[in-house]
Chain A
Amino acid sequence: MEENVMLKLTDIHKSFFIGTPNEFEVLHGLDFSVKQGEFVSIVGASGSGKSTLMNIIGALDRPTSGDYVLDGVDVIKAHDNELSAIRNKKIGFVFQTYNLIARTNALKNIELPMLYAGVSASKRTARAKELLEMVGMTDRMHHNPDELSGGQKQRVAIARAMANNPAIILADEPTGALDSVTGRHIMDIFHELHEKQGKTIILITHSPELSRETQRIITLKDGSIISDEPGRTVSTQGAIEEEVTEC
């Protein structure tokens, strides 16, 4: 295996039964790998298979055939409980709809992945507070999700994704429900995680503009990769703002 490879997908096929005898293939043998510390975006129109691909990368679903190795772990061979552990420790999910647990404050939400990982209460709280500070939400730690704005919820969600220090951050349209200014702030957090902490981030989006901010753009169409090219590396906020105004 190549050096520094964080995840490697080989000849991934995924089919769905849509009533016998018909089988509908969504992914037609995808091959790609992501290096450690890479910031990759997967773009494609709806129906291109990017959600299906995201589910497979996120260990939420199994491919019909193919190989998938994540951070040295063979995901294909994992049992259900092992998949839970992979999701828990190796993957940090950020969803478009935030998916914070209702009636549970920011602090407890961030503690949740650590709770499932069996981290002791004192360590959980300490780590959660550290993460809240990182996303600038310390003053809101005792607020429930319904008392937070969209941008604040997404910050908490990012902090939660980072809880167990995962191998990859898997962000599914993280700015999709936010206005452009708030969305900008969220993207800045991702850039910060990438640059300062060297996180491997996979961003799933339908927006070409967002994908251009990442190091590498994988474009999907009808279940196949039609292009895999470098994006524009934007490292400073100033340059990004310029980019936004240009558009």
Chain B
Amino acid sequence: MLIWENITIALAGLKSNLMRTLLTMLGIIIGIASVIAIMTVGNSIKSMVNSNMMDLGANDMTVGVTQRDSEDDVRDIRDTDLITVDMLEDYKKEYSDKIKGIALNVSAGNGVVRQGADYANVAIEGVNADAYTSLNNDLLAGREFIDVDFDKGKKVCIVSDKFVENLYEGDNKKALGQTVEVECYGKIYDYHIVGVYKYENQMIISGQTKDITTSLYIPLLTAQNQTHYTSGFNYVTVVTTPGIDGEAFAKTTQDYFNIKFYANNDAYEIMAISMASMLDMVDTLIGGVSLGLSIIAAISLVVGGIGVMNIMLVSITERTKEIGTRKALGATNGSIRLQFITESVIICIIGGIIGIILGIGMGMLGMKILGYDAAISSQSILIAVCFSMAIGIFFGYYPANKAAKLNPIDALRYE
């Protein structure tokens, strides 16, 4: 008995009970659609987070001070535990071929700039040359920091276009050369605006609000002078040479610092994490969450499958006489079983395909609402098709087997 004949018979049977077939399919459609929608959203968020993190610096490695695992009662961190400029100089010399730069940041606090009734919230960030470069900011007007700014600790700043929008009616040219007074922790600091950068919205919620806090960059030394915080850094960001094995270098870096500088430290040590391994962690996290949600959605697929099984049992009871006749005409148990499994697989595959289309639609709509591009995974579509086929076989087998095992005499006599 050819598969094609079975498909024709099954389609004819399903068509004659169109409403019932559609309702049965609905369970599969909803199940597959929700799995696909969740996977599409998960996939899209993953690729969005990835590209954002790549923008932050694909070659970055974070080197930070961390507590030793073995300590139960850890003392507070002291200035002597921090990463010093001297350590970094040695480190940079040792691995000059692998290090493009070391980004140093000092956060000098959040503040507000007022100008009459207008105001702008800022986070004052002290950066060194490497740190500013690794930000990859687009300069809209004015200039970047120059060596003398860093060396002398000049009171200059680069502000965002949002800042300019709030205080200078969006006129970048007008802002350049102005001196701003930042009110921060009760003190007033003056900076001279030398440049305007384009503010990139990293948040999911688009920020049209006036109250948004943007970074105001100042040279590192300026920030240190202001905060009197010069002993060292909790963490630094190392920009590595493109093409090197980030994870291996992170291990090398960690060992270098721990052996050379932290061997005698009782409570703290250095941990280095490359962006690559951070990306991995984030991917695993998002992947895990979307898989978990998919499994919950897949439960509805099982319910759909039970619906298919139920309707197949009804169909077989209705067609008992037909089954008897087929057996009298020479159908083997195997061909009867195949006939009914084909029917349930067809219900599931058609339902699965409709579900995929619906799920992609829902996923794309969801991502559009969030304001990001949808990334459809072809893998999930393939899995969904295979899965719906498997449901058809799994939930079709019991009814089909029941039909195949019908006694031909009883089946023929059934009214």
Contacts and interface: CB of A to CB of B under 8 A. Distances in A.
A164 B330 CA distance: 10
B408 to A, nearest CB: 5
Contacts, number: 65
Contact of A99 (B12, B321, B331, B333): B321
A112 B327 contact: no
Residue of A55, A61, A84, A103 with highest tally of chain B CB at under 10 A: A84
Name the prevailing secondary structure of the B interface residues: helix
Contacts of B408: 60
A81 B332 contact: yes
A60 B331 contact: no
Instruction: Give the interface size bracket for A toward B.
Output: 20 to 34
B281 to A, nearest CB: 58
B409 interface: yes
Contact of B327 (A87, A95, A118, A160): A87
Given A81-B333, A87-B330, A89-B330, A61 B409 contact: yes
A57 B189 CA distance: 109
B321 A116 contact: no
B13 A103 contact: yes
A104 interface: yes
A93 B325 CA distance: 9
B336 to A, nearest CB: 10
Contacts of B9: 104
B332 A84 contact: yes
B114 interface: no
A116 B335 CA distance: 8
A113 interface: yes
A24 to B, nearest CB: 16
A115 B330 CA distance: 9
B38 to A, nearest CB: 39
B180 interface: no
Contacts of A160: 329
A63 B387 CA distance: 46
A117 B321 CA distance: 21
Interface string B66-99: 0000000000000000000000000000000000
B16 interface: yes
Nearest to B415: A97
A116 B12 contact: no
A241 B98 CA distance: 110
A101 B326 contact: yes
Nearest to A98: B325
A101 B327 contact: no
Contacts of B118: none
B366 to A, nearest CB: 42
A85 interface: yes
Contacts of B16: 102-103
Interface in A50-105: 55, 58, 60-61, 80-81, 84-85, 87-89, 93, 95, 99-104
B410 to A, nearest CB: 10
Given A84-B332, A116-B1, A95 B326 contact: no
Contacts of A85: 330, 332
Contact of B330 (A88, A101, A102, A103): A88
Given A99-B321, A103-B13, A115-B5, A87 B409 contact: no
Contacts of A55: 409
A115 B329 CA distance: 10
Nearest to A102: B322
A109 to B, nearest CB: 9
Contact of A58 (B5, B13, B328): B328
Contacts of A115: 1-2, 5
28 contacts: A55-B409, A60-B327, A60-B328, A60-B408, A60-B412, A80-B333, A81-B332, A81-B333, A84-B332, A85-B332, A87-B327, A88-B330, A99-B325, A99-B328, A101-B325, A101-B326, A103-B13, A112-B326, A112-B329, A113-B329, A115-B1, A115-B2, A116-B1, A116-B326, A116-B329, A116-B332, A117-B330, A164-B330
Interface of A: 55, 58, 60-61, 80-81, 84-85, 87-89, 93, 95, 99-104, 112-113, 115-118, 160, 164
Kindly list the 4 A-B residue pairs having the minimum CB-CB distance in the complex, ordered from nearest.
A88-B330, A116-B330, A99-B325, A84-B332
Given A99-B324, A103-B12, 17 more contacts: A60-B327, A60-B408, A81-B333, A84-B331, A84-B332, A87-B327, A93-B328, A99-B321, A99-B325, A101-B322, A102-B16, A104-B12, A112-B329, A115-B2, A116-B329, A116-B335, A160-B329
